[in-house]
Structure 1
Amino acid sequence: MKNRKKLKKKYALFLSTMFLAGCVTFLLWDSANSQEGDSSASAQTLTTDVTYAGDEVLKANDSSIAEANAILQSSTIMTTAGEDLAADLDELNAAYPSQLGFVLINEQTGEAVTTNASRVFTSASLYKLFLTYAILEQVDAGALSLQDQMADGATIDDYLTSTITVSDNETAKELAYLIGWDNIETFIHDQGFVSTSFNPYLESDGVYYNGDLETTPAEVAFLLERLLDGELLSESSTEYFLGLLGDQQLVYALNIGLTDEVTFAHKTGLLTDVSHDAGILSMDGQNYIVAVLTDGWLNATDDATPVFEGIGSAVMTYLYAQ
């Protein structure tokens, strides 16, 4: 446990540095760009410049980023239950080689069980976690309000609710256009999530669009852990974000292996060949971060079901042992 605490302290120190690095000016589209482009970029856009306030700007060097990545990828097994969970994951990895990434963090003890935690996956709709973080950071900065109206008259609150609870792609894209895919990418990287990317590119219409969406199990898990610990956002925005995750309507993945004894505030991601689920498990007043990313399926909706059933059962066995 001491080793895990040291890792978390070093990670927290790095994040403090990265936060200061993130205090560079975060420019949003000007009014000219907000008027250009096709209807897919129709959301109202800010015409004011937004900065992440700070007294000085620090740049993290390559060694600090490498150290942070090592911490993100670390597995610290301290109990027999953790060893058993790792063994179950090994069996699943053998049955589905190179298709599974997993992180579980026991918030009470610091124990972490991982497999393929640093592997880059297509993020599918897990990118919406990072998008929501970026939007709520702007809310905390006063540049946006949850009651601001989008082009169709719905509020940012409405759009965020649809984006997280039912994984609406259109509301998510409009929110991304609101502050710019390029700005979101810069912000996320400045916060230390260096393996998460939207690969933005600029089109002739003056609008940034997303390319391949990528992330890792480790970075998804640590985003959730920092959210739960109140390290990402203000208290009100943290509570709001957690509330959205708790209202999740899509329960086709990890939920099928869990019992009614746990609550799961989470976000799914699904493509033809990809199925993910990540969130915060709560049982008997204790919290656990879990991220499960899978790919390589012909029909993920059906093919990934046995994996999520197996992982859910293994996780429940771990929780019962606490």
Structure 2
Amino acid sequence: MEKDIQNFLGEQLNNNVKLIVNDARTNELLLSKDINDVFSSASLIKVPILLAVLDHLENQNQSISQMVKITPDNRVEFSVLTELEAEEATLHELLVWMIIVSDNTATNVLIDLLGFEKLNQYFIKIGLGHTRIRRKMMDFVQLESGFDNTTTAKDMALLFTAIYRGELLSKKHSELVINILSRQRINDSLKRYIADDIKIAHKTGSLETVEHDVGIVFTEKNDYIIGVFVTEHTNNEEAKQIIGKISRIIYGHLG
């Protein structure tokens, strides 16, 4: 497997690819490349936000069914909630939309719910050394000013391993997280070249120069964590193909 991946990566001279694969059950590191490099998280940041909100609900003994107002300043383009002109939604709805279609309006509402400081404190608490949130979704003014959301391959693998093991939340909410991630509707990267009907609990992230996909692959033989992160690329579609081909190689060995 390692040789096949090295041969493939050797052909990607114009793309910066970071990679991590580990056995979900034993946490054995199977493959890694540049796992400590810090890069723009894009929508991967929504996974730790999901966990932070659920952790908050548990600590405050609050209901996931509570209604939350959607203020005009949090509405952005390319959002289901914006299209629906929704003025409020339940926390459950916001969390689901944030993950399964990467809804940015839902994400901005949830960021306001906890605030940047509390979110970052939670990320640190659960061991994410370089995962930080510094701007809202679609806030390109802040992005151009140098305020970006960041992570590393190592952080994402740590996060998804903890999700797999149910280490961060109650059993009920741990199962909910897996359920939501498994309902992901954006499947043009890790699943791109896998014909089998397999379960992957994952999240994508995409900006003009980055393309990511990370998650848990459940198979009869193995459950494994895989994260492929393409940075500094010039073509999102080509980057998705790279992620798909790497995923196919790894699935051929582990699936």
Normalised TM-score (structure 1): 0.66
Alignment root-mean-square deviation, CA? 1.9
Match of 1:172 in 2: 107
Deviation digits for residues 35-62 of structure 1 (CA, Å, limit 9, x no counterpart): xxxxxxxxxxxxxxxxxxxxxxxxxxxx
1:88 matches 2:4: yes
1:281 matches 2:199: no
Contact 1:264–1:282 under 8 Å retained in 2: yes
- Counterparts in 2 of 1:1-322, with a 5 A limit? 84=1, 86-97=2-13, 99-112=16-29, 113-151=31-69, 152-199=87-134, 211-284=147-220, 286-300=222-236, 302-320=237-255
Separation in 2, partners of 1:119, 1:93: 17
Tell me which structure has the larger Cα radius of gyration: 1
Deviation digits for residues 252-276 of structure 1 (CA, Å, limit 9, x no counterpart): 1111122315221111111121111
Give structure 2 stretches of 5+ with no counterpart: 70-86, 137-145
How many residue pairs get aligned? The number is 227
Q: Identify the structure with bigger relative contact order (alpha carbons < 8 Å, sequence gap 6+).
A: 2
1:104 partner amino acid: V
Which has the higher mean CA deviation after the structures are superposed, 289-298 or 228-237?
289-298
Deviation digits for residues 197-224 of structure 1 (CA, Å, limit 9, x no counterpart): 11369xxxxxxxx930100111111101
Normalised TM-score (structure 2): 0.83
| Partner-residue secondary structure (3-state), 1:258 | coil
Q: CA offset at residue 153 of structure 1?
A: 2.6
Separation in 1, partners of 2:129, 2:244: 31
> Once superposed, which parts of structure 1, at least 4 consecutive aligned residues long, lie more than 4 Å away?
none
Contact 2:221–2:254 under 8 Å retained in 1: no
Contact 1:93–1:99 under 8 Å retained in 2: no
| Partner-residue secondary structure (3-state), 1:105 | strand
Separation in 2, partners of 1:224, 1:157: 20
Contact 2:184–2:203 under 8 Å retained in 1: yes
Contact 1:197–1:215 under 8 Å retained in 2: yes
Contact 1:256–1:309 under 8 Å retained in 2: yes
1:295 partner amino acid: T
Q: CA offset at residue 319 of structure 1?
A: 1.3
Separation in 1, partners of 2:195, 2:28: 22
Deviation digits for residues 163-217 of structure 1 (CA, Å, limit 9, x no counterpart): 000000110011011110111011211221111111369xxxxxxxx93010011
Deviation digits for residues 60-80 of structure 1 (CA, Å, limit 9, x no counterpart): xxxxxxxxxxxxxxxxxxxxx
Which has the higher mean CA deviation after the structures are superposed, 162-171 or 108-117?
108-117
Give structure 1 stretches of 5+ with no counterpart: 1-83, 202-209
Q: CA offset at residue 241 of structure 1?
A: 0.6
Q: CA offset at residue 299 of structure 1?
A: 2.4
What fraction of aligned residue pairs are identical, expressed as a percent?
26
2:64 partner amino acid: L
1:178 partner amino acid: L
| Partner-residue secondary structure (3-state), 2:215 | strand
1:239 partner amino acid: E
Separation in 2, partners of 1:259, 1:233: 33
Distance 1:270 1:200, change over 3 A: closer
